[in-house]
Chains A and B, each alone.
Chain A
Amino acid sequence: MSLVDELRAVLGDEDVLEQPVELHLFSKDASLMRGQPSCVAFPDNAAEVAEIVRIAERHGVPIVARGAGTGLAAGASPTEGGIVVVSTAMTDIAIDVDNRTAWVGAGVINLDLSREASPYGLHFAPDPSSQSACTIGGNVANNSGGPHCLAEGSTTSHVLGMEVVLAGGEVAFLGSQAPDPPGLDLKGAIVGSEGTLGFVTRVLVRLLPIEPDVRTLLMSFDTVEDAARTVSDVIAAGLVPAALEMMDRRMCEVVENWLQAGLPIDAEAILLAEVVGESDGVASQAGVIADIARLNHTTDVEIAATPEDRALLWKARKSAFGAIAQLATDYYLHDAVVPRTRLVETMKAVYAIADRHGLTMANVFHAGDGNLHPLIAFDASDEEANRIVHQAGEEIVAACLAVGGALSGEHGIGVEKRDLMGANFTELDLDAQARLKEVFDPAGVFNPRKVLPSGSRCFDFGGIRRELPDGVWV
């Protein structure tokens, strides 16, 4: 039987797509890299995914897991062909209010989970900007962050267990509702592995109580340096706000032009800070943050007074990437992370790189985490522009690594940054990661040639014995 026929025998005709226009739709995620899938499958549960894995292994074709396709690093682009396996039919949510956990299908949309949980006074902490579209399965694959992971950590801190289909079609339940399940934390290795170790079908997540009160502050500055220094000073003062976000002037202009959210368009940079907790606590925390901003020459501090004002400010923040369409047809959104104390110098370096290449750049990022998101607007149909944008991107990454940063704070490695991994890790580090991949996926079925550059598995220490004389301490 052909690949498609075998899949249809398991999933039914409608749940396997193979028409050219359908394949085109699933040939890329939100990155700029396109692949060519053989077909697209929509399983309903782990048993069906297990069958797909066995079929893929028999046919020797890769499986590329996909949620909503909002990934920015080509993690869900079928760059090596194969079956794109979409999680969107797996949408069950079972909330355990007493234990503050939920079993969630991989295809559940991030925001839907928090909506379902809110009547119980609970929410799911990770909140990527794409949260109204992205899926929990995608969040797990990428260890997604978002503005509010400053205080609560990224997705991995909120995944307690999972149902996962492993190589050979084995279905495993890893982790537990109880703390510290004994043995190696295999679940912790799978979170953030970008679909390269297995296919996660259901996730046991931690839910957090919704805090009783919240204040959102909007602070304007005449220089990016003043804004960045405010971020460092807030953290240094012993406060960990729920979120601490920065937008530069260019970004404020395009967002304001579109949404009229009340963002200042004459400030060089704005900070959006949010504090949560009991009423007395948030009032005093907001006061401390405002004082620090004043010491750093803020030109204006506003505190959102109503839920509507708050929602509008957050909408402005999370809509930033959409608003950029006013500047050019395409954008390249970068993601790198630096120690918070190196923000000011890194931002200067990033602006200098954009200036040098004559690029239109806007910035909106998770300043509290030191997680930068320089966004370059350009026309992707122009080959020369593409080349320059990628060149600038590599320079930005190099500037971040030079101050002790890392390649990616939340978007992942995928294909986009795969070949830069050697700048972040030694050969031995990459070899160790390649061994992990091989243990989980010896046949290389799960999302091959992602995350790790080719040649990562290059060390064989078995040979060392022969090189040394007897009796030598090595």
Chain B
Amino acid sequence: MTDFIEAFHTALRLIATLDPDLLGIVLLSLRVSLTAVAIASLIGFPLGAALAVYRFPGRGTLSAIVNALMGLPPVVAGLFIYLLLSNTGPLGVLQLLYTPTAMIIAQVVIVIPIVGALTRQACEDLLEEYDEQLRSLGASPTAIAFTLLWDGRYRLLTAVLAGFGRAIAEVGAVMIVGGNIDHVTRTMTTAIALETSKGNITLALALGIVLLVIAFAVNAALMGVRRFALRFAYA
């Protein structure tokens, strides 16, 4: 127990002194996950809006697939991207395996279904209310989609935060395609896994605390967005 308390103190000191190793890992994690979420949003918003607005054959199936992929296990996503990027894979020539780019790609795959499905739901809910009014105003399907995206902006923001929460916390995909290389592809989650198994509880604990703080911050932001939107009747 004293070991634990001591480790906890050291961990807090690592955080307080902005230990360079710790900082490097945290910043890489944030860079990878924020980039992945940004790219996934650029794809997920139009995907979700299109699924809500356009009527085309296979729309129901596609929606169901996107919904199902929300639960895609990160290790499976990692394995899939690994096969694509490995030397013998179709994208092997790009030599991306074990780079931060590979980790971003894997997390994009994980986050797109989350942002896409939540965007579709938000747009469908709005469309139920707006449909006749927008058609009366003469809006084309594309104009309707853009209107829904803007009017659903606060719910889209919560979708983005949910996607970020998932990306920053996942370990399976970044481990497989990143390889957990020190100072190159070592993220918070992979470092925790490695350091714990090496017995270096201190660094693992410090990273764990940082992750926890990020998770709390994301949740607080979610609640803040919701409250703000409700206050202006934008929810």
Q: Do the two chains belong together in a single complex? A: no
Q: Give chain A's interface residues, CB within 8 Å of chain B.
A: none
Q: Give chain B's interface residues, CB within 8 Å of chain A.
A: none
